Structure 1
Amino acid sequence: MVVAGRFHRRRQRRGVSWHGDETSLLDDFPAWTLGGRPIPHIDSNDSRQALVDLIEDNGGTTNIIDMSAWFRDAYDAAPNKEEAEIPVENTNGGILMITGKDDKLWPANKLAKIAMNRLEDSEDFEHRFTHLNYRNAGHVVLVPNLPTSYDHYLQPAPYNTYIGIGGTPEGTHRANHKAWKATLEFLEETLGD
């Protein structure tokens, strides 16, 4: 979505641009650049110490970290929220966002709603857009018939921390099946033959 929002005719996903990814949250660099310069992003410098504490308190343990609370707090405290919003209304094509209500990695539902609001407020966006949010599903909603018994993953060294992704096996199973069906229908409707 970062690319699609900056260049017409391209397609991607997401709703707000952050610095780095979860493997580099303690570093100070953006996830996206344009022409070698960072695009506006949520800079979580002010809340980074809270993340350091969270990781240090749980590193090397079997505790599962709920990163979504940290991302929510960083977003709420960010002075440049509007500047960091991705101009999704510039996308030249349909947009389907799929989120889980129990996402423990980051507040995907909240960020998808921001993107949906931008699309609703746009007078120029002419394509279909949909946000599907599944109860008891976490960060990972994939295709049917994959294992769904995971609710976390191990972030390797130097952190050795378990990062939660959320969801229940049953909720993720249902979301995978419903989201796959909805994705195929969305693609058929928006792309046609």
Structure 2
Amino acid sequence: MKILFLFPLLLISCKQPSPEIIIPKKYKIGESFDFKVTGLETNEEYELVARKTDNFDREWLSKATFKADDFGQINLSNSTPIKGTYEKKDLYGLFWSMTMTEELGDDWTAPEPIDFSTINFSLVRTMDTLGSVSTRQYTIPQGIETETLNDQIVAKIMRPSNYEQPLPAIILLGGSGGGLSWASRMGALLADEGYATMALAYFNEEKLPKNLAQIPLEYIENAINELIRKNYIDENRIGILGYSKGAELALLMASRNSEIKCIAAIAPGSAVFQGFKPPKFPVLSSWSLNGEDLEFVPNAYDKRFFETYDGMYLWYRTLSQHDKVEKASIPVENIHGDILLVSGVKDKIWPSTYMSEQIISRLNIAKFENNYEHIALPFAGHGIAEPPGHPTTSLSSRLGGTAYGNAKAREVVWESLKNFFNRSLNTNKEAL
């Protein structure tokens, strides 16, 4: 006799999980992170909408529609939008493609990056919001010690809060806007990478010249010496980073000071040029030494410029003064270390790619013995000296390049800077 054992059939419920937007609650601008949406119906379309408010209380918005994959997920690193404010797979796409929701005229004020921004992401399907989450994007990293100098020298010195050995140092020089804004932001981010950094103002701050004209090189020398005297600085590992006119100044200082062991110049000039002193714009050098103007290239104004105010026309006309350019060219062959040049081919402020190639040519002729490189970014303009993560949609009309080109250029610039200083200053972040 056979005995049959009948086992009940267990029915397992396969309930669809709820949609979830996965992104860190906070992150440092420029760093990679996981950003995805899970719990979706496979192969169905969903829209992600990003919003933030800038320091002028204006709303910025971006959006992109995706199709969920076979696992019911959207991974922002490798998912191509079906439609939206950007077109290609891009982790930072929803960040850089933000535009203001209100129409403004040509004279609107660009937002100033602040210590952190809160960005809200919403998941939408057929007009229904399925969920939302916020992340805090830090422009100034947490855990950085800052010393402010505001006497003979106007600067901020930043360093990691924990370190076990003398630190390599980087001096940062911003461009024709003056002040400390750009240098402070970049200085804080580089300090978080394991450096002591000095964000140095050289005009347009209290106690400093108002205009970018006849800036004494002695002031920069004194600032470098002040930094080197700090007991936590390794005086044998000093670098310098400059942007735009600050890159012109950085190249000039590196060619004169053997303490500087490497230089990175973003959108640089190749010579000493005329200063900027409105409203009458006297013919003065940007820089001085011992109370005298350094040899400089004067602006080649003509009738056409005053009819069109075409800045690039003026710059190429100025650079066509070959004898004056030769006399005022920065002697980059005297630099005592590695050189990194980065430029945007579509730069609308000045021809930084052309001038970078002039610098490279001079180094080639001199058979420069240290490492040197020029990275020319084909679809980028002048606004490339920030880490990826800020909107780039407002840069093209003023500074050149495309929104996508500038966004991708910022990724290249940030990684190139980190690699360059790590290699040239032998940074050991593990020791922090």
Higher RCO structure, 1 or 2 (CA under 8 Å, sep 6+): 1
Q: 1:9 aligns with which of 256, 259, 268?
A: 259
How do 1:1-193 and structure 2 match up within 5 A? Answer: 1-10=251-260, 11=263, 13=265, 14=268, 15-21=270-276, 26-44=281-299, 46-47=300-301, 49-55=303-309, 66-123=310-367, 125-142=368-385, 143-151=387-395, 164-193=398-427
Q: CA deviation at 1:69?
A: 2.3
List gaps (5 residues or longer) in structure 2. 1-250, 428-432
The offset of 1:48, in angstroms, is 5.1
Is 1:69–1:106's contact at 8 Å kept on the other side of the alignment? no
TM-superposed deviation, 1:110: 0.8
Q: Is the 8 A contact 1:71 1:107 kept in 2?
A: yes
The answer as to whether partners of 1:26 and 1:48 remain within 8 angstroms in 2 is no
| Alpha-carbon offset, residue 145 of structure 1 | 0.9
Q: CA RMSD in A?
A: 2.4
Q: Deviations over 1:93-119 (max 9, x none)?
A: 211111001001101011111111111
Q: Identify, as 1 or 2, the structure richer in helix.
A: 1
Contact 1:17 1:85 in 2 (8 A): yes
TM-score, normalised to structure 1, is: 0.78
SS at match of 1:33: strand
1:96 and 1:24 map into 2 onto residues whose CA distance is 35
Q: CA deviation at 1:76?
A: 0.8
The 3-state SS of whatever aligns with 1:149 is coil
Bigger CA radius of gyration: 2
| SS in structure 1 of the partner of residue 301 of structure 2 | helix
In structure 2, C-alpha distance between the alignment counterparts of 1:85 and 1:177, rounded to whole Å: 30
Mapped to 2, the partners of 1:101 and 1:38 lie a distance apart of 31
Greater shift, 28-37 or 103-112, is seen at: 28-37
Amino acid at match of 2:423: E
Instruction: Spell out, residue by residue over 1:68-91, the C-alpha distance to the aligned partner (whole angstroms, 9 max, x if none).
Output: 221011111353111111001111
What CA distance in whole angstroms lies between the structure 2 residues aligned with 1:53 and 1:26? 17
Structure 1: segments with no counterpart, 5+ residues: 56-65, 154-163
- Aligned length in residues: 171
Q: 1:12 to 1:41 in 2, by over 3 A?
A: farther
Residue 99 of structure 1 contacts residue 132 of structure 1 at CA under 8 Å; is this kept in 2?
yes
Give the distance between the partners of 2:314 and 2:360, measured in 1 at CA. 23
Instruction: Kindly provide the CA deviation profile for residues 123-181 of structure 1, in whole angstroms up to 9, marking residues without a partner as x.
Output: 4x33211111101100111211122112368xxxxxxxxxx310111000010001111
* Alpha-carbon offset, residue 186 of structure 1: 1.3
Amino acid at match of 1:118: R
TM-score (norm 2): 0.37
